[in-house]
């Protein structure tokens, strides 16, 4: 939009866009990126406002802006079946699927607690790999994430494993019903 209306081509790095904006202090590169996001806003406003005047769309735009401003924010809720839509889910066995579902729910709630994007908290690929290989979580988690969340993840894995051992034992040793 800046290029279209103001005629300035911004040079913005995807690396900086996806960097850790929750860490403080922000890096020099992050600050420069943020400045680029806002420095041309007054000029953009003037150009777009002039366009709306020329096309006699000020009233319509004002109504639309009012609707946007009146919209209620809704807290994101977990999609109870979202884990089934992740690529690779259907390649998992039953035990892995159950673990994956639990890890998916855990990730959603932890990311929400920390006010972080899910993809930055723990990507789908890592979650899937953890469900497939529970013996080596260090392969799929950075040392930092292993230190922060390793105990929680290990507990989820342990509970899932215990539940499956119990259900396997029940299947092998059914009790008589009188």
pLDDT digits (tens, 9 = 90+) for 13-43: 889 988 888 888 999 999 999 998 899 999 9
| CB-facing half-sphere around the CA of 90: CA atoms within 13 A | 3
Residue keyed to tokens 């005047």: 53
Tell me how many degrees the CA angle 108-165-153 measures, rounded to the nearest 5: 25
**DSSP assigned state of 91:** G
Question: Helix, strand, coil proportions of the chain in percent (round to 5)?
Answer: 70, 0, 30
Residue 121 has pLDDT above 90, yes or no: no
Q: Are 84 and 104 in contact (CB under 8 A)?
A: no
Average pLDDT over residues 113-131: 88
pLDDT digits (tens, 9 = 90+) for 130-174: 999 999 888 888 898 899 999 999 999 999 999 888 766 666 665
Which candidate, 160, 138, 157, 158, places its Cα nearest to that of 147? 138
Verdict on whether the full-model pTM lies above 0.75:
no
In order of start, what are the domains of the chain with their CATH numbers?
A: 2-70 (no CATH), 82-172 (1.10.150.80)
* Residues found in the chain: 178
The CA angle 104-107-112, to the nearest 5 degrees, is 130
Give the chain's end-to-end CA distance (angstroms, integer).
Answer: 75
Check residues 81 and 121 and name the one with the higher pLDDT.
81
């Amino acid at each position: 939009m800046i290029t279209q209306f103001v005629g300035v081509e911004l040079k913005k790095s995807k690396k900086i866009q996806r960097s850790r904006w929750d860490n403080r202090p922000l890096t020099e590169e992050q600050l420069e990126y943020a400045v680029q996001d806002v420095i041309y806003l007054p000029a953009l406003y003037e150009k777009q406002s002039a366009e709306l005047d020329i096309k006699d769309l000020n009233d319509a735009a004002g109504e639309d802006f009012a609707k946007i401003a009146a919209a209620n924010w809704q807290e994101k809720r977990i999609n109870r079946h979202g884990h089934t839509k992740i690529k690779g889910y259907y390649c998992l066995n039953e035990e892995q699927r159950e673990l994956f579902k639990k890890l998916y729910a855990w990730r959603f709630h932890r990311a929400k607690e920390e006010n972080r994007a899910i993809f930055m908290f723990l990507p789908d690929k890592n979650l899937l790999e953890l469900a497939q290989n529970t013996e080596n979580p260090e392969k799929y988690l950075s040392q930092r994430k292993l230190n922060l969340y390793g105990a929680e993840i290990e507990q989820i894995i342990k509970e899932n494993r215990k539940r499956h051992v119990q259900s396997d034992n029940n299947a092998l040793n059914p009790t008589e019903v009188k």
